[in-house]
Amino acid sequence: MQEVTTEKKEFVPNIVAFCCNWCSYAGADLAGSSRLTYPANVKIIRVPCSCRVNPSFVLKAFQQGADGVILCGCHPGDCHYVTGNYYTRRRMALLYSFLNYLGIEKERTRLEWVSAAEGARFSAVMNDFVKTVTDLGENKRLTDLRVKEGE
Amino acid sequence: MKEVELKMKERAKALLESGEVARVVGWKKGDFCFDPSPATFETVDELNEFVYDYFCGANLSKYLIQIAKKEGKTAVFLKPCDTYSFNQLVKEHRIDREKIYVIAVECLAKLDIEKIKAAGVSVVTGVEVVDKDVNVSSPYGNVTLYKPDVVLTKCATCNKTHQVKDEEIILHQRPAREVDRFAEVVKLENMTPDERFAFWREQLSKCIRCNACRNVCPACSCVKCVFDNPNSGIAAKANDDKFEEQLFHVIRAFHVSGRCTDCGECSRVCPQNIPLHLLNRKFIKDIDTNYGEYQAGETSEGKTPLTSYTESDIEPNDAVNGEAK
Amino acid sequence: MQRIGVFICWCGSNISATVDVVKVAEAMKNEPGVVYSANYQYMCSENGQQLIKQAIKEHNLTGIVVGACSPRMHEATFRKTAEAAGLNPYMVEIANIREHCSWIHKDMDEATEKAIILVRTAIAKVKLNAPLMAGESPVIKRALVIGGGIAGIQAALDIADAGFEVDIVEKNATIGGRMAQLDKTFPTLDCSACILTPKMVDCAQHEKIDILTYSEVEDVKGFVGNFSVKIRRKARYVDESKCTGCKVCMEKCPSKKGLNAFNMNLNTRPAIYIPFAQAIPNVAVIDPEQCIKLKTGKCGICQKFCGVGAIDYEQKDTFVERQYGAIVVATGYKPIDLDAFNEYGYNDNKDVVTSLELERLMNAAGPTNGVLLRPSDGKHPKVITFIQCVGSRDSSGCGKPYCSKICCMYTAKHAMLIREKYPDTEVHVFYIDVRTPGKNYDEFFRRAVEQYGVDYIKGMVGKVYNENGKLMVQGSNLIDNEQVTIESDLVVLAAAIEPEPSVRKVATLLTASIDTNNFLTESHAKLRPVESPTAGVYLAGVCQGPKDIPETVSQASACAAKVIGLLVKDKLKTNPCVATPDESMCNGCSQCANVCAYGAITYVDKEFRIGGGKTEVRRVASVNPAVCQGCGACTVTCPSGAMDLKGFSSKQIMSEVEAICKK
């Protein structure tokens, strides 16, 4: 039975989600305690604030084979650290646009504001993102931005 | 340009003789007529080597980081585009403004020897510029080229004006003109993701990681580069994977975003002719579009677009490539 | 050599129903660096914790990973467990295999596979953890209150009553603030002075309170528990310790043309003056703009008549520097300038007044001794029209986008008082909405309408113009859908209120964040409403947002409670997960300080060896760990990657990314 499913296995994207400790990570916890499902291929990394996410983390994820990267933080104005997510918003606006400029489809990068109370939204956002990235298919571009011998 | 050079030399001499400055930073003759290099002059005698011509494209501002640490005041000749880098470095506390005496000099665009050679003149022994004519002397006969065809890429779309000067030596004003420095960026933006990827993949694959871009970039002024910082998680030595190798230019472009003055030195020095400035200009264009026009280095104070914000900034999901705007 | 222990919790069936916990624990045994891996039904239980403690000791573990519920749930528990077993509490990482795994996935294989990756990721991180120590910083048991209005007074009294020293710094010559200017207060119509002045006196007499009037905060250094504040004491040209408040100088002063700010400039006062009868301190002050002696050197009459020799024309600004553990900001508000609202004719007609001016015109100690007379000719106004929302809820850009909150209620109060005292006066009120939430507020407003017959007209006023000595108020009546023009004798504008402009400087000095309307931002709109995001700084009154007296007093007392809670501590424990710069790589470029919301980053010049026996002095960042909150904004801004965050270092997060993406 299991072997059959493995053979038929469709493309399952690998998604890295960065969540801020105070809002989005708690939102993910709430999604969990409310038993609101989303695909298992979403893996969450906890950061104190979305502003802790260095663009190089996002690049690293793509270069290591992630098919989509999503960053979640407190809603603008509600940042636990007052202004952290405002900087995040600018950084990611530029980074995402830049990645798109390099040919990394813009649908592979996303930023969502999810509060600690928005468990349902967290789950919905993840389901939607997984679907979008699944439709796009595998991402190899940042693992292969430069053609190198033996690769 | 000869008269300008003469004036510059005179001033340098006077400043050194009076002891007002301990040294002058400018350009000195190279082995050929087209390869002057940045140099420091500490005595009047050394000024014999001083040169200022149509090949003095190098941005001198970054040299000041180290030179300014020396005893006494330093005089420097800055072209319009160099002054932006200078301001940015002062803003980032990398240069002590008090220790530098800035002499703003006219530019009138610099020539690209590669482009001249590509135009069919394989050996160049001299160059004279008269208005838009570039008269190139060569043992195989003299050739006249159209100047806009053979200026440095960075000069082709330059509209910069002097932002800092303690005095100026300007004999000919550059005529005002309209330039569109984002045309190439827009062209790329209008491609499909596949086409863009193909373009960049081809370009970046040419890179031999010589670090010339990083070394020349005035925004890359770090005491220790992030790529050499073992704790940054991106240093090559700390990784056995190809992360740094693959993403060097991407990370570098992000690192200088909001601080890059668009001086174009990266592309000028690239031995592989990768249009690196098109990476930086994408950030500049996005910053202008999303947060209002911003020119790094216009002043030596204030915050950069990435260290400031407004409550109603555009959302990243909507900010991509100007498509949703 | 790293010796990592892994502990997989079943959480009864919460985890084990969808995650094969045994399989996860077994799989972890093969991970590099892992020397022990176990599973247990309830890791957080006494027995579970015992198991962890024992393993730490027996296997000499250098770090542990607990695969269990959310770290938001039990991270603190397991840190304590580790600490009890002699392991640094920050050598613990939690893999969230319940909320983020077992509870949301149904397929056992899928969930188990994910759990393995999550635990592996936590292992990757814990390997890069470093032991961290929570720091300690001392608390100076003295508070500073900036602003001596009702908010500052209340906060100071509450703090002082708890036994702590408090200084009130007030920029005016007396404490009392806006409330001292008010006539009556809603919704009970107490006389403002009757309830405020006793509190002012309490402040003056309190042995723990020191009032510094005519003073401003000049500089602030330090951080929570340990602020150092420089205060400018402006020259008042009167020796505070000698002046008895006899007012002889005021009578004798020949220069009597200074505008009386306390009376909203509706009348004049002498160049030497005491702002009002109940001023605290009851000490005169000389207005250097009006004083003939200070301007020309000739006069000196007040000095001659002063029986106690208190006048000192030579007085200069002085500075005092004091240390505080906590700071309360209570800088208050002012009505907005009405220059942008020409349509109401405020600048052209003396009889168009603001509500705060009306307060003075109705106050027994005001320019008309409490008899309502119009400013132009001193006659009783027979028709009075109030215009609401002048500059409030205004998105045109001329005014303020917010609701000033107090205007609906004070206008009802004014209307009622006028109708009560002068029943022959017609009172009209143009309003957009009447907003009266609050205990007994709506009842109060209804009394104005039902009992006192105040004419409320829903609609905006287009313009006010003078015609034959009458003020014509032209507006729309939305209910009857018609244009109306009311011939009035007096027009009262409910001008929006805005934070006192000096708050900007205070906010900058305190690195307290401020919003686009210049209101100070609270730490959390709902759950930390009186704390500024800057630790040790608290907000009371309108400086934080529009509010009335009851709310202001509540907020001030809440501030006091927070301050007392801070000052009773001898030492503060600081969060060890803070940013730290690697000085050898720092450029001193100031980018990090630009994004720090807490002002935790300063720059110092340090000497570095540069080889060849030489040294150079470089400017480098320095993070105050007591102030840093650990958000990490600076780490991303740093171009060289010199700034890193303990507990969430770049390398840690990079290795987590790697572990997740590993195929």
| pLDDT at residue A2, rounded to an integer | 44
B316 in the same domain as B188: yes
* Lowest mean pLDDT across B114-118, C533-537, C632-636: C533-537
CB of C1 within 8 Å of a chain A CB? The answer is: no
Instruction: Kindly state the tokens that stand for C556.
Output: 């001030």
pTM score above 0.80:
no
Quick check: helix, strand or coil at residue C161? helix
C366 in the same domain as C482: yes
| pLDDT at residue B321 is higher than 80 | no
Residue B317 sits at φ, ψ, to 5 deg, of -65, -20
| pLDDT at residue C174 is higher than 90 | yes
Average pLDDT, chain B: 90
CB–CB contact C663 A61 (8 Å): no
| pLDDT at residue A7 is higher than 60 | no
| pLDDT at residue B322 is higher than 70 | no
Reported confidence tier of residue B140, pLDDT bands at 50, 70, 90: confident
Mean predicted confidence (pLDDT) in C39-46: 96
Reported confidence tier of residue C662, pLDDT bands at 50, 70, 90: confident
B10 in the same domain as B124: no
Per the domain annotation, does C443 fall within a domain?
A: yes
C468 in the same domain as C519: no
pLDDT in tens, C320-379: 999 999 999 999 999 999 999 999 999 999 999 999 999 999 999 999 999 999 999 999
pLDDT in tens, C389-442: 999 999 888 999 999 999 999 999 999 999 999 999 999 999 999 999 999 999
Per the domain annotation, does B43 fall within a domain?
A: yes
CB C315, CB C211: distance < 8 Å:
no
Q: Which ipTM did the prediction report? A: 0.93
CB of B234 within 8 Å of a chain C CB? The answer is: yes
Domain range annotation of chain A: 11-142
Distance from CA of C225 to the nearest CA of B (A): 29
Q: Letter for the amino acid at C488?
A: S
| pLDDT at residue A5, rounded to an integer | 47
CB–CB contact B316 A142 (8 Å): no
B264 in the same domain as B201: yes
Mean predicted confidence (pLDDT) in B271-281: 95
Beta strands C268-269 and C258-259 are antiparallel
The CATH number that domain A11-142 falls under is 3.40.50
CB–CB contact A56 C650 (8 Å): yes
Cα separation, B91 vs A107, in Å, equals 37
C156 in the same domain as C122: no
B289 in the same domain as B189: yes
B279 in the same domain as B225: yes
Q: Name every chain C residue with its beta carbon within 8 A of the beta carbon of A126.
A: none
Cα separation, C327 vs C229, in Å, equals 10
Domain count, chain C: 5
Quick check: helix, strand or coil at residue C55? helix
Per the domain annotation, does B287 fall within a domain?
A: yes
B217 in the same domain as B260: yes
Quick check: helix, strand or coil at residue B264? coil
| pLDDT at residue A145, rounded to an integer | 80
Mean predicted confidence (pLDDT) in C133-154: 95
Per the domain annotation, does C283 fall within a domain?
A: yes
Q: Which of C589, C603, C609, C654 to mutate to test the interface with B (most CBs of B within 10 A)?
A: C589
pLDDT in tens, C547-563: 999 999 999 999 999 99
Which DSSP symbol is given to B297?
A: T
Size of interface B-C (CB pairs under 8 A): 75
Beta strands A68-73 and A42-47 are unpaired
Per the domain annotation, does B174 fall within a domain?
A: no
Query: Strand runs (DSSP E) across C213-342, as ranges?
Result: 215-223, 226-233, 258-259, 268-269, 272-273, 285-286, 318-324, 326-329, 333-335
B199 in the same domain as B309: yes
B159 in the same domain as B14: yes
| pLDDT at residue C573, rounded to an integer | 85
Domain count, chain B: 3
| pLDDT at residue B325 is higher than 50 | no
Chain C (109-148) residues lying within 8 Å, Cβ to Cβ, of chain A: 109-111, 113-114, 117-118, 121
C274 in the same domain as C421: no
Q: What residues contact residue B281 under an 8 Å CB cut-off, 6+ apart? A: B181, B182, B184, B185, B262
pLDDT in tens, B94-129: 999 999 999 999 998 999 999 999 988 888 998 999
Domain boundary among C478, C498, C518: C498
pLDDT in tens, C179-230: 999 999 999 999 999 999 999 999 999 999 999 999 999 999 888 899 999 9
Q: Which of C527, C657, C663 to mutate to test the interface with A (most CBs of A within 10 A)?
A: C657
B314 in the same domain as B221: yes
Distance from CA of B211 to the nearest CA of A (A): 16
Q: Which of B92, B222, B234, B246 to mutate to test the interface with C (most CBs of C within 10 A)?
A: B222
Cα separation, B54 vs B110, in Å, equals 5
**Hey, what's the torsion of the CAs at C648, C649, C655, C658, to 10 degrees?**
80
pLDDT in tens, B173-182: 888 888 899 9
Per the domain annotation, does B159 fall within a domain?
A: yes
pLDDT in tens, C268-326: 999 999 999 999 999 999 999 999 999 999 999 999 999 999 999 999 999 999 999 99
| pLDDT at residue A89 is higher than 90 | yes
| Rounded (5°) CA angle C319-C322-C326 | 135
| pLDDT at residue A79, rounded to an integer | 84
C112 in the same domain as C43: yes
Reported confidence tier of residue A117, pLDDT bands at 50, 70, 90: confident
Mean predicted confidence (pLDDT) in A54-66: 93
B164 in the same domain as B43: yes
| pLDDT at residue C176 is higher than 50 | yes
Per the domain annotation, does C661 fall within a domain?
A: no
Reported confidence tier of residue B241, pLDDT bands at 50, 70, 90: low
Q: Which residue from B320, C114, C455, B278 is spatially nearest to A37, judged by alpha carbons?
A: C114
pLDDT in tens, C564-594: 999 999 999 888 999 999 999 999 999 999 9
Domain span at B100: 2-110+153-169
| pLDDT at residue A9, rounded to an integer | 60
Of C589, C595, C650, the CB nearest to B231: C650
Subunits with 3+ Cβ pairs within 8 Å of C are: A, B
pLDDT in tens, B11-62: 999 999 999 999 999 999 999 989 999 999 999 999 999 999 999 999 999 9
Subunits with 3+ Cβ pairs within 8 Å of B are: A, C
Per the domain annotation, does C133 fall within a domain?
A: no
Per the domain annotation, does B66 fall within a domain?
A: yes
Nearest residue of A to residue C521 by CA position? A82
Cα separation, B58 vs B244, in Å, equals 28
Instruction: Kindly state the tokens that stand for C296.
Output: 């020309």
C29 in the same domain as C168: no
CB–CB contact B201 A103 (8 Å): yes
CB burial string C622-635: b at 16+ within 10 A, e below: ebbbbbbbbbbbbb
Distance from CA of C640 to the nearest CA of B (A): 4
Domain span at C301: 248-305
Subunits with 3+ Cβ pairs within 8 Å of A are: B, C
| pLDDT at residue A3 is higher than 60 | no
Reported confidence tier of residue B236, pLDDT bands at 50, 70, 90: low
B48 in the same domain as B10: yes
| pLDDT at residue A151 is higher than 60 | no
Which DSSP symbol is given to C541?
A: G
B275 in the same domain as B262: yes
Domain boundary among C462, C480, C498: C498
Per the domain annotation, does B193 fall within a domain?
A: yes
CB of C588 within 8 Å of a chain B CB? The answer is: yes
Distance from CA of B188 to the nearest CA of A (A): 7
| pLDDT at residue B246, rounded to an integer | 82
| pLDDT at residue A149 is higher than 60 | no
CB of B209 within 8 Å of a chain A CB? The answer is: no
Q: How far is CA A79 from the centre of its chain?
A: 19
